[in-house]
Structure 1
């Protein structure tokens, strides 16, 4: 019932914001002639944008600036299932000869399925495009997925990542995972290694709960202090009509956004304060940049309840990765079997979502790697969101990733294997779209 009440309130807010904005621009309205009417209208339009919840946000990266030149960017959906789209971004100046590309490394960015849409990593994609072809896991909003398309568990995240790695030329592939995605990404590569399949050249894990026992944060303490039944009773709701996913059990976006605002109000208010300050100074370009970041932060999605509850139990309650007890569809996840994928872990000193040592714990688990293939970076004074946006990302995190991908570069990067048959999944249908 709470979901329906929220939808009624949101619809009323949208109508109110829209009508109020119109009142200040309609020439037949008396409000249109008061001083500052255009500014009031703009304010209501901004509120309208926030009230939509970023339901279908886009990356919107038409080009990048490289060596002082504007380079067009081509975005494609190259693989799709009901639960995820694999997006491919390429700066189109890459030299080609026949069907062979210049040696441009490919990076698979595993976006977290923890509330925010993948556009939260827009700046990551823009930066990586300077030297890489970029693939991004763009997870679907569960309220738009019909119940007939089946369930989605944490195991399914892992199998999706495995499929993406197989579909991209792994000889030159680098995998980068952020926050919640670090666990299934490491699990996917470990399972490939255990089956003697080829694994990516490198794996970068950024601010993730590989071992949530270390320096537990408020999120970890909440998860460990309540039972799974408590989470199911209090945080799981049924998608109402008229959404395509009506009847599906989800952790709704509004629950997550309110939780983020309560637990971590600083990022939200800092973005809004930056927007207002730059707008007051008359710097429209920078103000728009801050506004886009605010929209990205507010763009949240409904998570399938099964995946959400699996993550709480597996990662924050039973610590299955750390204890070596995690199994994905009956196969043990053994990070120690990884022997040919270099490992880089990056943490922020002030990260209050994934505490100190939680990400670096991957080095203890990946015992099959030599010390020369392991790197770890701890960034002083860095919070969680600084790890993938803003000056800290650009000056500290991104250079470390580039150093890694350059060192482990391989030829023929980023070329999708042509006409491969897609492996069937037992829980979700998938198909290739573009090759």
Structure 2
């Protein structure tokens, strides 16, 4: 019923939006003398603010048509290389100059949590000069007909395994937020059956591997309400005339409402400042606001079965860290992972996935060699800053790329062979590797790495802009 009411309100406001847009165009037209006055700019600003706050934002385009490779501008083309009803795999194909290295092949797994994959546009743009990038482009559930069947967490994992097998063993996977759990599960299952297409490395960024660690408001809500509450209050059928009519979904507007309410005062202030930028004719600041909210307010629906299974498995029962997660009846065992390097990245101020939730993956993947796993905590960034923004570009992305280059496919076999052939020390105790594990199973930073991290942090705080 709520979804139908939402659609009705949106349709009812259509005439008002059209009128507001006409007012904006009239009072911002350079041929209109009123456009140069304070009153004219105020009327135009008010009309645009009304139109934007009542609009439904459609899926944005990536719009990445070129990048810089070794100082040369090259064209970038989007191509679909794999497709199923609920997802398509996009490849950002670069016209590389002669002699240029392709770089590591990266599969970015975008979060399926309400926003489109274009939320990672900045992440893709940062990696393009140095890597061959693919990204999961998830489909809005309300556009998928009921005849296409269901899609749950098990299907999500199956999709990932098929993508890994399509791309081959030289692939490095990056999971941003929500997909960290299914990516770890997919790699565990592939390693258990010794699949040759297992990725060379996995980078988990701000993911809810174990939400019992430093639980956030989002985590506490799931445990307090229980799965029954979510089934009764967060799931509803897609209204007519959408292609997915009668499909049970978790609507994107509900997810967006939750995100907005967490920082409501910040969003109100941002829109107030947007209005004043328009009145003062500050075009650059106004355009930055438009760019951010065009992306942030564009949301998609999730299938009810995927949403409910994810909430129950990850946030309520904590199946993965407890060793109880199953995929189609088969136990998911991260201890089976031996050949895949692991990098975890967290943000110091993350209010979605608390500090320690992603690092927990190291305790689960205890059989990955110590020199093939690392954890990095980025100071002074929140959840969004883990995968986007100035600090991601200057401090996080270089570490991810260096980690991938240091762990190509087959690295585990080489490490094992070296360890087997190396002579055993007779008297002195063996030195710990740079990424020695702690007593809890997680990676431990050495003194030199802490010093480097401190210098980087100091430089970032001194020179870097404030986080978004």
The TM tier, using the shorter chain, reads: 0.7 to 0.9
Larger Rg: 2
Aligned CA distance change for structure 1 residues 270 and 211 (closer, same or farther; 3 Å): farther
For 1:126 and 1:133, locate their aligned partners in 2 and report how far apart those are by CA, in whole Å: 11
Q: Structure 2: 5+ residue runs without aligned partners?
A: 411-468
Contact 2:25–2:44 (8 Å) recurs in 1: yes
2:192 corresponds to 1:189: no
- Aligned pair in 2 of structure 1 residues 390, 232: CA closer, same or farther (>3 Å)? same
1:132 aligns with 2:99: no
> Residue 216 of structure 2 aligns with which residue?
217
Q: Which has the higher contact order (CA 8 A, sep 6+)?
A: 1
Judge conservation of contact 2:74–2:97 (CA < 8 Å) in 1.
no
Q: CA distance change for structure 1 residues 360 and 269 in 2, over 3 Å: closer, same or farther?
A: farther
**Which residue is equivalent to 1:22?**
22
Distance in 1 (CA, whole Å) between partners of 2:176 and 2:41 is 40
Q: Give the match for residue 228 of structure 2.
A: 229
1:409 deviation in Å?
A: 4.1
- What is the TM-score with the length of structure 2 in the denominator? 0.80
Cα distance in 1 for partners of 2:334, 2:11 equals: 47
Helix, strand or coil: the match of 1:350? Answer: coil
| d(CA) in 1 for partners of 2:183, 2:22 | 47
Distance 1:270 1:24 in 2: 22
Rounded to whole Å, the distance in 1 between the matches of 2:24 and 2:382 is 40
Q: CA RMSD in A?
A: 2.7
- C-alpha distance in 2 between matches for 1:152 and 1:203: 24
Secondary structure at the residue paired with 2:391?
helix
Runs of at least 5 residues in structure 1 that lack an aligned partner in the other structure = 412-435
Superposed counterparts of 1:110-189, under 5 Å: 110-171=109-170, 173-189=171-187
Paired residue total: 404
| Compared CA separation, residues 193 and 281, structure 1 to 2 (3 A) | farther
Whole-Å separation in 2 of the counterparts to 1:232 and 1:354: 23
| C-alpha distance in 2 between matches for 1:349 and 1:186 | 22
What is the 5 A alignment of 1:252-271? 252-265=251-264, 268=267
Please report how far the alpha carbon of residue 297 of structure 1 lies from its aligned counterpart in structure 2 after TM superposition: 1.2
- Superposed counterparts of 1:280-299, under 5 Å: 284=283, 287-299=286-298
1:249/1:305 contact within 8 Å kept: yes
Residue in 2 that maps onto 1:307: 306
Shift of 1:278: 6.9
Q: Answer yes or no: is 1:328 the counterpart of 2:331.
A: no
CA contact (8 A) 1:268 1:294 kept: no
* Pair 1:60-2:63 in alignment: yes
3-state SS of paired residue (1:70):
strand
1:265 shift after superposition: 3.3
Gap change, CA 1:271 and 1:338, over 3 Å in 2: farther
